Amino acid sequence: MSHKVAIIGSGPAGWTAAIYAARANLSPILFEGPEPGGQLMQTTDVENFPGFPGGIMGPEMMQKFREQAKRFGTEIVSERVDSVDFSSRPFKFTAKGKAYEAETIIISTGATARRIGLESEKALYGKGVSACATCDGFFFKNKRVIVVGGGDSAMEESNFLTKFASEVTIVHRRDSFRASKIMQERALNNPKIKVIWNAEVAEILGVDAGHVIGVRLKDTVTGEEKEMEIDGVFAAIGHVPNTDIFKGVIDLDEKMYIKTIPGSSLTNIPGVFAAGDVQDAKYRQAITAAGSGCMAALDAEKFLSEHE
């Protein structure tokens, strides 16, 4: 059986696309994967999503999105799509070995926080190493932490962490930040924030202790290494779009994000649409992802009516 609309991914973009497609009588099937909900599952309070003046927890918000999509008849599959063949319509794909077909596809697989890439980082993840200050900052009351990165996220997370930590040090691999001026100034003017320029984390120390006790930093100019005692490492070094299964199938940009025609959700393959962080390295907000999910559903509906 060929579905009219298949949606891959279950963050705000995917659920919004499902709500719109279901209400348009397109009986969407949505693949939410084994860990549904996307990045909002890692956040605590969401205070900037209109309609929730008192804020809402990220996981609760995703639960509400899911309920709303289900209410209008979205079929939900809790598997990950593992391969796709978009060479002809109906498009073909598999999830846990089972084959599916759909007339249109909406890709909303999101992005994942980039990791530093050290074995010690992996071993100490959740034991002092984190990629989300909003989620884990609370655990670092009166502790010393470093934030790795020089973008807006690093600035924002450093400022946020000063609410808890006794000392926040930004470790950046170059001698200037790429963050916006206003965010840089906010961080640099914060008396609790220090910066170590031209340094990268060569090792996170504490694997034997079972928690972070320090880092070994390497000077990116001189190559010199030195150890620093700290209790926490926050990586704020950007995100990687979840596009592995689309490599060689659909047009991606140099950072592996899906290319969409500006002002639409259209990809280079007619009938395949993309929404949310998987095609947006810039805004990355729940509300913009939801908005683009709506666009994708409307684009799919239009495509189907033109290709009936």
Please identify which residue in 238, 269, 287, 288 interacts with ligand NAP, judged by CB under 6 A. 238
**Phi, psi for 7 (deg, rounded to 5):** -115, 130
Q: Are residues 62 and 37 in contact, defined by beta-carbon separation less than 8 angstroms?
A: yes
What is the token pair recorded at 78? 């809790």
Residue placing its CB nearer to ligand NAP in the complex, 248 or 262 = 262
Residue placing its CB nearer to ligand NAP in the complex, 5 or 111 = 111
The Cβ-side half-sphere exposure at 183, using a 13 Å CA radius, reads: 14
Q: How many residues bind ligand NAP (CB under 6 A)?
A: 19
Stretch that binds ligand NAP, among 150-158, 187-195, 211-219, 241-249 (CB under 6 A): 150-158
What is the token pair recorded at 127? 């034991």
Is residue 284 near ligand NAP by the rule CB under 6 A? yes
Write each residue from 108 to 137 as x if it is in contact with ligand NAP (CB under 6 A), else as -, in one continuous string: ------x-x---------------------
- Strand-strand pairing, 29-31 and 75-77: parallel
Please identify which residue in 127, 173, 186, 216 interacts with ligand NAP, judged by CB under 6 A. 173
> Minimum Å distance from CB 54 to ligand NAP?
21
Is residue 178 near ligand NAP by the rule CB under 6 A? yes
Which of helix, strand or coil describes residue 257?
Answer: coil
Say whether 244 is catalytic.
Answer: no
Give the length of the chain. Answer: 308
What's the one-letter identity of residue 243? T
> Minimum Å distance from CB 275 to ligand NAP?
17
> Minimum Å distance from CB 18 to ligand NAP?
26
DSSP code of 53?
Answer: T
**Phi, psi for 275 (deg, rounded to 5):** -145, 155
Say whether 135 is catalytic.
Answer: yes
Give the span between the Cα atoms of 202 and 109, in whole angstroms: 31
What's the one-letter identity of residue 183? M
Is residue 220 near ligand NAP by the rule CB under 6 A? no
Is residue 255 near ligand NAP by the rule CB under 6 A? no
Is residue 280 near ligand NAP by the rule CB under 6 A? no
Say whether 132 is catalytic.
Answer: yes
**Phi, psi for 132 (deg, rounded to 5):** -150, 100
Is residue 39 near ligand NAP by the rule CB under 6 A? no
Q: Are residues 120 and 203 in contact, defined by beta-carbon separation less than 8 angstroms?
A: yes
Stretch that binds ligand NAP, among 8-16, 172-180, 185-193, 243-251 (CB under 6 A): 172-180
Residues marked as catalytic: 132, 135-136
